[in-house]
Structure 1
Amino acid sequence: MAWECGIDGCGEVFADVESAVVHQATEHDQCECKVCGTVVPDGYLAIRHAFTEHSRAEFVRAYGASSAEVREREELLSAIEDAADTEAIATELDR
């Protein structure tokens, strides 16, 4: 399965999810969480932050997200977490 970067229409495609996440964290600007103000890498890591650190309701209020947008992000998180070697991502980002 190929993984495509969906940040701002980037569209770069990767053979594995770990490379896609590292790309998002290193090649795109960071973003500020609208709930708590924490600055995080954009893409998967920003979504992961929002959904693990904050409630669904906080996310909806801060981002004006619809139920469909919340479900889409939850499904993306699940797909990535099912496929990713998170230790490999952390190791690569610590370099």
Structure 2
Amino acid sequence: MAWQCGIDGCGRVFDDVESAVVHQATEHERRECKVCGTVVPDGYLAIRHAFTEHSRAEYVRAYGASSEAVRKREDLLDEITEAADMETIAKELKR
């Protein structure tokens, strides 16, 4: 399965999800979480931060997100979490 970067129309395609997540974390600007102010890598890691550190209601209030937008991000989070080897991603990001 190919994985495509969806940040700002980037569109780069990767053979594995780990490479896509590392790309997002290293090649795109970091973002400030609108809920707590923490600066996080964009893409999957930003979504993971938002949905593991904050409630759905906090996310909706801070980002003005619709329930459809929340569901889309939750589905993406689940899909990547199931497929990704987080240990590999962590090792790559430490380099």
Q: Same fold (TM over 0.5)?
A: yes
Give the shorter-chain TM-score range.
Answer: over 0.9
Q: CA shift at 1:85, angstroms?
A: 0.3
Q: CA shift at 1:16, angstroms?
A: 0.3
Counterpart position of 1:42: 42
Q: TM-score, normalised by structure 1?
A: 0.99
Q: CA shift at 1:33, angstroms?
A: 0.1
Distance, in Å, in 1 between the alignment partners of 2:37 and 2:20 is: 25
Question: What SS does the corresponding residue of 1:51 show, helix, strand or coil?
Answer: helix
Q: CA shift at 1:53, angstroms?
A: 0.2
- Identity across matched positions, percent: 80
Unaligned runs of 5+ in 2: none
Counterpart position of 2:14: 14
Question: What SS does the corresponding residue of 1:91 show, helix, strand or coil?
Answer: helix
Runs of 4+ in 1 over 6 A off after TM superposition: none
Question: What SS does the corresponding residue of 1:65 show, helix, strand or coil?
Answer: coil
Q: How many residues get paired? A: 95
Is residue 2:70 matched to residue 1:76?
A: no
Distance, in Å, in 2 between the alignment partners of 1:41 and 1:83 is: 19
Distance, in Å, in 1 between the alignment partners of 2:54 and 2:82 is: 21
Counterpart position of 2:90: 90
Q: TM-score, normalised by structure 2?
A: 0.99
RMSD of the alignment, in Å?
0.3
Q: CA shift at 1:61, angstroms?
A: 0.2
Unaligned runs of 5+ in 1: none
Counterpart position of 1:26: 26
Counterpart position of 2:59: 59
